Amino acid sequence: HDAGLAASVSKIHLDAKGRQLGPHKDRKEKQHSVDEVHEGEQKSLQLTTDSFDSTRRANEVMIVNFYTPWCHWCQKLEPVWEKTAVALQEKFEQGKIGVAKVDCTAEDAESLCTTHGIDAFPTIMVFRAKYDTKDKEHERYHGER
């Protein structure tokens, strides 16, 4: 049984040549920027089960954030998501790239999250109208949360 395995693993950082930089505890902690804030109006589309398919087909590419309001990481993503929606709307004509979100706790969207197999939050998926003809061919973001 290896349930406690992670407790005995330590992280070692290496330089570009593969040499150890020193024990994790001896290095300075990386400074993170201040939490993002978005003060403008919301530009990302709030989708429901009823509006999802038509909105997806109306955009060549649609990037969707499946979230829950209580999730800490979803809350941190929200202002960045909205800034991204604003930037993409300014850069591309309507129908090129849509930035949307789905509240997986809302009654009118819960089945949509189940259909797409959403089991972690936030989950970001990319839908491409040209290639997503079977309603199953989409890309899931697998990077850090």
Is 113 an annotated catalytic residue? Answer: no
Q: Could you count the other beta carbons within 10 Å of the beta carbon of residue 79?
A: 15
Please name the helix (run of DSSP H) or strand (run of DSSP E) that holds residue 140, with its range, or none: strand 139-140
Structure tokens at 95: 């129908």
Instruction: Find the catalytic residue in 71, 74, 104, 113.
Output: 71
Q: Which residues contact 107 (CB under 8 A, 6 or more apart)?
A: none
Phi then psi for residue 41, to 5 deg, are: -75, 160
Q: Which residues contact 128 (CB under 8 A, 6 or more apart)?
A: 60, 61, 137, 138, 139
User: How many Å is the maximal CA-CA distance in the chain?
Assistant: 55
**What positions carry a catalytic annotation?**
71
